Amino acid sequence: MVLIKTKREIPSSEITPEAVYLSRRKFIGQSSAVVAAGALAHSTFALPDSWIEDNGYEPMDEIGEDITPKKHATNHNNFFEFGTGKTDPAKHAHQMTVDPWSVEIEGLVEKPGKLSLEDVIKDIDLEERIYRLRCVEAWSMVIPWIGFPVKKVLDKVRPLSDAKYVKFTTLLRKSEMPGTKALFSSIEYPYVEGLRLDEANHPLTIFAIGMYGKVLPNQNGAPFRLVVPWKYGFKSIKSIVKIELTKKQPQTTWNLSASHEYGFYANVNPKVDHPRWSQATERRLPQGLIPRSIKTKMFNGYDEVASLYEGLDLKKNF
Ligand SMILES: Nc1nc2c(c(=O)[nH]1)N[C@H]1C(S)=C(S)[C@@H](COP(=O)(O)O)O[C@H]1N2
Ligand SMILES: [Mo]
């Protein structure tokens, strides 16, 4: 049995500057704990009940943003493999087998090969990160993820010096993914995404295996997905089965589908509109009777990533 140490109270100074956190979650229970992860992936990532109940999150006092209620974050999804409707993933993603799960490590790395999800996360501390998620469609949520920096995995497999990009690929299993069988589709499968290596190594970039104190629901990208909080949601690729280090910028699903609408960088930017709508504001979910519109922030409010793009024209490189 593999033991995975979790940080329950996360001193933000340990990971990233305080500002990256909307709020530090107040965990219930003891201050140190271990989560047991057995030989098999998904079902064995049982997090202790004391982590919280679905409604146990407190409002985010620092900047007054509330965590999106779990029922909204798990019933309003984009996961086209299960259909294009926002409720399709919640309806159909249970068909996806996520246990056992393995991840292929390929390309310009010292240690390529196939890793079980347990091997991927072995010896890596789990952290909770409360992040805004800003979809390119101009809605947003605030989600408490459980995961770990992508850098920790890259450090394990050791990128070679000529590796410049990381490419990620989602599972494609047509028999379990009704959306991939549609006759007409706006995107091709498998879903692929990519980051520059320095973006992937940034401390804000995480792999998530859980949310709201529990294992990731399938519709949110179980058992293992990327979360890049300063980029539009489509960069945060779900249910990852392959990680490849490359020299050239990898192709990405939405850029392949409509390159004038979706760029490789996809940094949240209120000054660069989508050709068909403004990106200056966003609808924070859940919406009540009176629509809640808030101003979109550059880099989704995560200013500390600005230095990654010094000298880059962010209008051209949208
Ligand atoms: N494989 C895959 N990953 C995906 C998508 C998808 O359709 N397929 N949709 C993306 C988009 S557009 C968004 S906004 C986020 C949504 O994540 P959530 O459903 O967990 O909120 O997932 C991203 N990752
Ligand atoms: Mo999105």
Query: 163: Cβ–Cβ under 8 A, 6 or more apart, which residues?
Result: 107, 108, 109, 197, 245, 246, 247
Tokens of 301: 């409010």
Task: State pTM to two decimals.
Answer: 0.85
Report the C-alpha gap between 184 and 207 in whole angstroms. Answer: 31
CA of residue 255 to ligand 2 center, whole Å: 13
Instruction: Find out whether the beta carbon of 177 lies less than 6 Å from any atom of ligand 1.
Output: no
Mean pLDDT within 255-279 = 98
pLDDT tens, 36-55? Answer: 232 223 333 444 444 433 43
Q: Which of 35, 53, 43 is nearest to 216 (CA)?
A: 43
pLDDT of 92 strictly over 50:
yes
Report the C-alpha gap between 115 and 32 in whole angstroms. Answer: 28
Q: What does the radius of gyration of the chain's CA atoms come to, in whole angstroms? A: 19
Instruction: Find out whether the beta carbon of 16 lies less than 6 Å from any atom of ligand 1.
Output: no
pLDDT value, residue 288: 83
pLDDT of 6 strictly over 90:
no
Mutate to test the pocket of ligand 1, among 225, 234, 253 (most ligand atoms within 8 A of CB): 234
Mean pLDDT within 7-12 = 40
Report the C-alpha gap between 171 and 237 in whole angstroms. Answer: 10
Mean of pLDDT over the chain: 85
Sorting pLDDT into bands at 50, 70 and 90, what band is 64? low
Tokens of 64: 């007054």
Instruction: Find out whether the beta carbon of 234 lies less than 6 Å from any atom of ligand 1.
Output: yes
